Structure 1
Amino acid sequence: MNDREHPTSADFDSLLPASRIDRRTFVTTLSAAGFALAVRPALAQSVISTPADGLEHGSTTIPSGADALPAYFACPAGKDKLPTVLVVQEIFGVHEHIRDVCRRLAHEGYLAIAPELFYRQGDPANIEQISEILSTIVAKVPDAQVMADLDACAAWAAAHGGDPARLAITGFCWGGRITWLYAAHNPRLRAGVAWYGRLGGEAGALTPLHPVDVAGDLQAPVLGLYGGQDQGIPLADVERMRAALEQAGKPSEIVVYPDAPHAFHADYRPSYRAAEATDGWRRLLDWLRRHGA
């Protein structure tokens, strides 16, 4: 298989892991993730490296139920009552690109928190094959668990310099789907920005609903940023989501970059598109500020 981002249907069998989960289950897992690759991308090729000057940042643990949820955070040093952004990872976990996004937000005046939402199921950093990450980790993560963990992060932020009245969320790929779901889950959320997150798909025991199913339940406006050349998220799904939002009368928006592929913001991958990523980031900041976050 070559290095294109999305396998065709003929590639799925070659991606099936040694455990030989059934093909339908694996395809459903790919859909929930929003994309697939044969081998994880190399993080050493990141274009952007944001310094931590003037920031407080690092690793922490956040109480979530009986567990201690690992997380990375960044915020302006010595500041209080900060607007908070929950940053939701791709399937690769909280790697350097996600930490860099937190530092970028911190330089804009936010307390940014990126929790390790897979930590109970496993560490994707130690797995080379995408198929194994999807089948052994991602497929076992319940949406309900993720919602509870994000609630715990919001509570932690309120106790550590964040302003609970100015809470927002953004997420990439797998995290883009979660962004839509969390906007329907938390009535205290002010805004969300979903980067190329899956919008529809088959329901499963752990993933019973998708964004298009909860469009009418959104508690906060969401900005969706999508690529017109994304082979994993059909434009038909984007239009279906737009129609659902319009029918529900929700003040959310979706922007499609016609020439952009999936993961156009991921500056450590060949899919990165600087112009679209820069414009999307500008829109993110404007959206958060416009909606009081």
Structure 2
Amino acid sequence: MPTQSLQIPTEDGRADAFAAFPDGGEGHPGVLMYPDGFGIRPVLREMAEELAGHGYYVLVPNPFYRHGPTPLIELPDHIGEEARPAIFAELMPMIQAHTTDRVLRDADACVRFLTTRPEVGPGPIATTGYCFGGLLATHTAAAHPGRVAALAGFHAPVGTAGPESLHRIGARVHFGHAESDLTPEALTELNETLDAAGLEYTSEIYPGTVHGFTMADTDAFNPAALERHWDSLLALLREALG
């Protein structure tokens, strides 16, 4: 599986990124995969390679490049509850500094970069993300409704994107929520917003999950939910990108 370390030109500098793609040939559908708040690390690279194995060119940018290249902070091999307070003490200032203006500027740069890669075909692209990255994916789809045909977010605060952004989305959508993140009432409210936007979507709570359930290097990991995530994501990409 070919992989590359890349630099994405942006208005504010160069964002380091990781890409995985099928061996040989061109014309692969492009997928912009945003990491969770812990950033690009081995588990994200493995997930990008897994997705690339199904025929997609997968680009994973570092959202916090303004603070430095990956790795921005030292992470343990396994992120448990005891490590989280110290990690979030370092991460939260970067997350809070990542304003919507920055998100949209970076989305423009990432979409432009992905769609001009020689390995990527001329058709529509997809965007997906985890936790904080799912919110970035949602903003990207809203800002580029003519290019982004599929949007997925997992254990992500997608509702905070706001109705105005959700109404601009032109993509097919799948949101997989952690049971610990969203009450049934909040899910109903979010889905009513998606209905009002006229979106073709699935938005559901994955039973028995806590925030971060896709990440195998954390104690939130749920193997069955990860497999459900792959089933949902791959079905969405097949329907939207072919």
**What's the TM-score bracket when you normalise by the shorter of the two chains?**
0.7 to 0.9
Task: Determine which structure has more spread, i.e. the larger CA radius of gyration.
Answer: 1
Q: C-alpha displacement at 1:137, in angstroms? A: 1.0
Deviation digits for residues 106-138 of structure 1 (CA, Å, limit 9, x no counterpart): 111111000111010355424772332343211
Letter of the aligned partner of 1:215 in structure 2? L
Q: Percent identity?
A: 25
Summarize deviations over 1:145-177 as a string: whole Å, max 9, x none.
Answer: 223223222222232211242300110000112
Measured at CA, do residues 131 and 269 of structure 1 come closer, stay the same or move farther in structure 2, by a change above 3 Å?
closer
Which residue type is aligned with residue 121 of structure 1? H
Tell whether the 8 Å contact from 2:149 to 2:241 is kept in structure 1 after alignment. Answer: yes
1:256-287 deviation per Cα after TM superposition (whole angstroms, max 9, x unaligned): 11211111111111211111110111110010
Q: Which runs of 5+ in 1 are unaligned?
A: 1-54, 202-209
TM-score, normalised relative to structure 2: 0.87
Cα 1:158–1:200 change in 2 (3 A) is closer
Partner residue of 1:189 out of 134, 148, 151: 148
Question: Is 1:175 matched with 2:133?
Answer: yes
- 1:239 equivalent to 2:183? Answer no
The reply to whether residue 108 of structure 1 matches residue 54 of structure 2 is yes
After superposition, give the CA deviation of every residue in 1:174-210 in whole Å (9 maximum; x if it has no partner): 0112222222111211101100111345xxxxxxxx2
Q: Which residue of 2 aligns with 1:258?
A: 207
Matched-pair contact (CA < 8 Å) for 1:64–1:152: yes
Return the match for 1:135 from 92, 98, 101.
Answer: 92
2:73 aligned partner: 125
- Pick the aligned partner of 1:150 from 70, 95, 107: 107
TM-score (norm 1): 0.73
Shift in Å, 1:213: 4.3
> What's the offset of the Cα at 1:71?
0.3
Q: What is the RMSD computed on CA atoms of the aligned residues?
A: 1.9
- CA 131–270 in structure 1, closer or farther in 2 if over 3 Å, else same: closer
Shift, 1:288, TM fit: 0.8
1:215 matched to 2:166? The reply is yes
Structure 2 gaps of 5+ residues are 76-82
Q: How many angstroms does 1:80 deviate by?
A: 0.5
Task: Provide the rounded CA distance (Å) in 2 between the counterparts of 1:157 and 1:181.
Answer: 16
Amino acid corresponding to residue 197 of structure 2 in structure 1 = A
* Number of residue-to-residue matches in the alignment: 229
- Structure 1 residues 211 and 268, CA gap change in structure 2 (3 angstroms): farther
Match of 1:282 among 220, 231, 239: 231
